[in-house]
Amino acid sequence: MTEDARTPPLLTSQEISRLAETVNVHQFNENAVRHTKSLSDRLGLTQIGVHLVRVEKGHDSTQFHFHHVDEEFIYVLSGRGIAEIGSERIEVGPGDFMGFAQHSVPHNLHNPFDEDLVYLMGGNRSPIDVCDYPKINRRMYRVDGNKEYVDFENLKAVPKSR
C-alpha cells in the first residue's frame, strides 16, 4: 500500500465536530440510546474501537452487563451521569475514567441530569465475545460480528469427559 492510499491517522477537532452521529438503541434496553461518532472506524482501526458518545437526559448507555473477553473503558468529557458498577451507584463527571477488564463487575451509565453526558468509550474488538446481562438473565454470544443470545434458564452444562 502506498502512503497516499492510507487513511491519514488524524481526525481534527473540526472534522470530529462535523461527523454525523449514529443513533444506537441497545438490543435489550430500548431506553439505552447512544448518539455515537465512531472515531476508530473513520481511521480504519479494526482491533480497537474508540467512540465519542452522547447520552441525553433520562437515557441509559447500555443494558447492565459485563464482558467475558472484551475489555472496555469510558472517559467522561462533559456532563454528569450515574455509573452503576456492581451494586454501587456513583455520580461521575468530566475527567472521571472507568476501565472494565475481562470478567469485571457488571456496569451501566444513566443520565438523569439536564445536560447531555458526553464520553469517550473504547475497547478491543475480539472476534469472539460473551456478554452477560445479569438483570435480565441473558447471555449474548458474538462470533465474527454475528450475535446470538440465550436466557440463563435455557443454558445447559456440557457434561465433563471421562
H/E element, 17:
helix 13-18
pLDDT at 5: 60
Residue 4 has pLDDT above 80, yes or no: no
pTM listed for this prediction: 0.91
Mean pLDDT of the chain: 95
- On whether the CB atoms of residues 49 and 37 are closer than 8 A, the answer is no
Task: Give the start-to-end residue ranges of the domains of the chain.
Answer: 3-126
> Cell numbers at residue 162, please?
471421562
pLDDT at 161: 86
Q: What is the pLDDT of residues 108-151, one digit of tens each?
A: 999 999 999 999 999 999 999 999 999 999 999 999 989 999 99
CATH fourth-level superfamily of 3-126: Jelly Rolls (2.60.120.10)
> Hey, which residues does 148 pair with through a beta bridge?
141
Average pLDDT over residues 71-77: 98
Average pLDDT over residues 55-72: 98
> Cell numbers at residue 95, please?
475527567
pLDDT at 1: 45
pLDDT at 162: 78
Q: What are φ and ψ of residue 2, in 5° steps?
A: -80, 160
DSSP, res 58: T
Closest CA to 117 of 36, 43, 160, 57: 57
Q: Which amino acid is present at 72?
A: E
How big, in percent rounded to 5, are the helix, strand and coil portions of the chain?
10, 50, 40
